[in-house]
Chain A
Amino acid sequence: MKAQDYQISKEKFVFHSTGENLHDKKLDTKPVSYFRDALNRFAKNKASILAAIIIGLLVLFAIFGPIISPFTVSYEDANYAYVLPRNKMFYNLGIHFWDGGQEKEVNKATFDLYKGIEQETGRTVIMTEPKLHEEEYMGKMSTLYTFRLDTYNAVGVKYELLTTEEYLALQQYQDEHNVQIIFPITEPKLRPEAEQDRANANIWYQTKLGGGRKTAIVYDKDGNFIPIYQPNDGKDMYTSKMYWEGDEKLYNYAEAKSGGRWNVRVDYREYYIYKHAIANDGITEPNFILGTNNAGKDLFTCLASGARFSFILSVVVASVNLFVGAIYGSIEGYYGGKTDIVMERIVEILSSVPFVIVITLLRYHFNVDHVVILFIAFFLTGWTGMAGRTRMQFYRFKNQEYVLVARTLGAKDSRIMFKHIFPNAIGTLITSSVLVIPGVIFSETSLSYLGIINLNTGDMTSVGTLLATGQNYLFTYPHMILFPAVFISLLMLSFNLFGNGLRDAFNPSLRGTEE
């Protein structure tokens, strides 16, 4: 037969049913897309919704935390180290919770030190009425004072070494704001003899060297402190109108040091406000909502920045893993045979290498920032799981009839792979990418916690580093480890719940089997 016999002229083609009603039943319900369906199923899972909300809040915290906080990660002030969390609302209401107070049990000497600070600065240091009780200590009965200490006001007075210009500028500020920052200097000869108290500016009263080379306070007849302020000799360039106790210049306000500098006793809270006002860095007063750590860094800012880094790292790693793993797994699964065996062997070896070894070898060989090392290590071995999952999906679908149809119709390999088979795997891959995120954050936190990688470089920190620092002060300042621990626990818990919800939503048939 000739080919022409099959040729049908164009005119013979007529549309079948134009203008007529099709007597087919209309669909009663709207068609639901795969993603719509998954979303509906997800919405029914209350725990997952809650988890998603918590994750959202934590992400908001990570994004906006460092922005709204006046502090930076590189900020540190050793004078305000170890201060406890303070929420100004609770503090102003006088509620003894989250107000920067710490329950203390101290002996009389320490208690009097706090009382001295309170008396001189005029700010409350002892927040509650002290309870006294006797206790035997090293064979001697001693009185112990139990009370709540204001860790901010307990900082009290500090020595600051200022140049003449700084000293005069500070005096000018005093006059303008009508606030006494510079306190009278103490007589150097009368300062405490004991080594550990030599530089303690808060001792403005007479002391003597007690037993065990400890400082003992000397009281007058009525049990009051005896001030040791240096009398005025007119050499200290103090011209401010602000005078200690009245309007006469009774005392010296600075001590001349070598190099034309002045040793000044400043009320640290006011001086802090002044310092940051002239630096104009947005810090208005010492108030740390989550407290500070041993170096005096603001924990809120550090935690938010650490969280931000964790999120960025994990999302980048998850996306790269998804991309590389999907391509690798597609090739493996689609071609099968020898290609599969070789590629699968590579995956097996890569995934068997303990992560610690990868990190350590990279650390030894590349003298770069540990952040870079962390990224490289995750990129090197992280994608193997994703590749395995994609491969499984390809094995499931590549022999189905519709793939055969596509091939018969002349579709190329790449088209079959990514247009026909791959969409089937998307649900699984999305859920496992989401579950990769907590895994990455967990590894990063553990590694920095163990000190295998050090992410604590100036303007950066990580949750793991905060945890490791907090661990050292667990028994004395538990707030340091509390907040990072709560953060990481909440994050892990919500991500697991969220991931499970997503998995159930995308693959209802898998429910409960892959737990």
Chain B
Amino acid sequence: MYMFKYICKRIGLMIMTFTIIFVTCFVLIKLLPVDYSVGFGEDTAKIENMLKSRGYDKPIPEQFILYMRRIFLDGDFGIGFRMPEYRGQPVWSVFIEKLPPTILINIYSSLLAVPVGIALGIFAALKKNKWQDHLISTAVMVVISVPSFVYATLLLYIVCFKMSALPLNIASFADVIKAYPEKNLVYIPGTFNWSLYFNSKMFLSMLPAVFSMAFGSIAGYARFTRAELTEVLTSEFMLLARTKGLTKSQATVRHALRNSMVPIFPSIIGEFISVLSGSLVIENIFSIPGVGGLYLAAINAKDYDFFMMLSGFYLLVSLVASLVIDLSYGVIDPRIRMGAK
């Protein structure tokens, strides 16, 4: 019951934070004059009518109510009116189309990073202060410090360009369709076709981005696991376990590992929630047609509906991830009394 109350309180606070930021953002955006662009030879009246019918000339509070009503009743987050390729298109459907590459690359990277990172961390902790530990710790320090765009570029230059081991660019749907003529693949815009994403061509072309994304996480997990495990390994119950007659490996697996996972597990959950958001930098370097690229384009083109929706999305993902991380501590280890005085 206590836990339930605490969770409700945290969720309530999160919703409050989200609402305050989102509404502030909305008001600040609506204070700006509506800007739109038209293609060569197109009619301005058409897009002006479109904006007018959506009430973009009404007072801000009224616009907010309209905006909320459209979101909750029709799932309509507005339309694009600046970027030429998305002009007049519903924001939501463009977003949905951009989501799969982002999520896939993030999931692949998490699937790689979590086990490898934890394994390295465990190895380093067991070999504490030996050369293996020093090697891993140094490598971890370097990877954590060096910005991701540096080693992503390095990977692109050495592995993809000099060695030609991996493709330079992410495969487009046209490439995939051409690569598998026997499968009779077709791409219909606005729909999601699994077989277009899950094939070796697409997978291989995603690998450079996946590796670049995973490096940082691997280093993070290795450092975290090493720190936790070394602490647990020196605690008294480990001595007790050994005294009882357990072998070193038995004691490590049954007692040390399980206890050291308490703080690590929540961050894994957090990682899998954050797969939605991805990394702006990595998407930019490997020109992945994902959400990050859309967000950057929207910011620079001043496409306000896109900006509002994507800002809200990123905000929500980061808030939910941090909330779930916080809460899962208490769920995994009941000794941690969340919010206790």
Contact = CB atoms under 8 A, between A and B. Distances in A.
Given A451-B300, A471-B153, A364 B32 contact: yes
B6 to A, nearest CB: 16
Given A352-B315, A450-B281, A489-B150, A478 B17 contact: no
Contacts of A349: 17, 20-21
A352 B149 contact: no
A179 interface: no
Interface in A435-490: 438, 442, 445-446, 449-452, 467, 471, 474-475, 478, 481, 485, 488-489
Interface in A350-404: 352-354, 356-357, 360-361, 364-365
B227 interface: yes
A285 interface: no
B161 A474 contact: yes
B149 A449 contact: yes
A463 to B, nearest CB: 10
Interface in B20-71: 20-21, 25, 28-29, 31-32
A499 to B, nearest CB: 10
B215 to A, nearest CB: 13
A496 interface: yes
Q: For this complex, into which size category does the number of interface residues on chain A fall?
A: 35 or more
Given A357-B311, A360-B299, A515 B149 contact: no
B285 interface: yes
A513 interface: yes
A515 B281 contact: no
B82 interface: no
A492 interface: yes
A493 interface: yes
B308 to A, nearest CB: 10
A474 B156 contact: yes
A512 interface: yes
Nearest to B277: A354
Nearest to B20: A349
B129 interface: no
Contacts of B149: 446, 449, 467, 485
A349 B314 CA distance: 15
A512 B302 contact: no
A354 B311 contact: yes
A77 interface: no
Nearest to A485: B150
Interface string A332-361: 000000000000010011001110110011
B204 to A, nearest CB: 19
A331 interface: no
Given A349-B21, A356-B299, A481 B281 contact: no
B199 interface: no
Interface stretch (B95-103, B105-113, B139-147): B139-147
A497 interface: yes
Interface string B290-310: 000001100110100001000
B141 A496 contact: yes
A488 B147 contact: yes
Contacts of B144: 496
Contacts of B13: 345, 348
Contacts of A348: 13, 17
A226 B20 CA distance: 77
A348 B20 CA distance: 11
A362 to B, nearest CB: 9
Given A449-B149, A489-B145, A354 B314 contact: yes
Interface string A34-74: 00000000000000000000000000000000000000000
9 contacts: A356-B295, A360-B299, A451-B300, A467-B149, A471-B153, A474-B161, A492-B145, A493-B145, A496-B144
Interface of B: 13, 17, 20-21, 25, 28-29, 31-32, 141-142, 144-147, 149-150, 153-154, 156-157, 161, 223-224, 227, 230-231, 280-281, 284-285, 295-296, 299-300, 302, 307, 311, 314-315, 318-319
Given A467-B149, A478-B157, A496-B145, 7 more contacts: A349-B20, A352-B319, A449-B149, A489-B146, A496-B144, A515-B224, A515-B227
- Going nearest first, the 5 A-B pairs with the smallest beta carbon separation are A493-B145, A492-B145, A489-B146, A496-B145, A485-B150
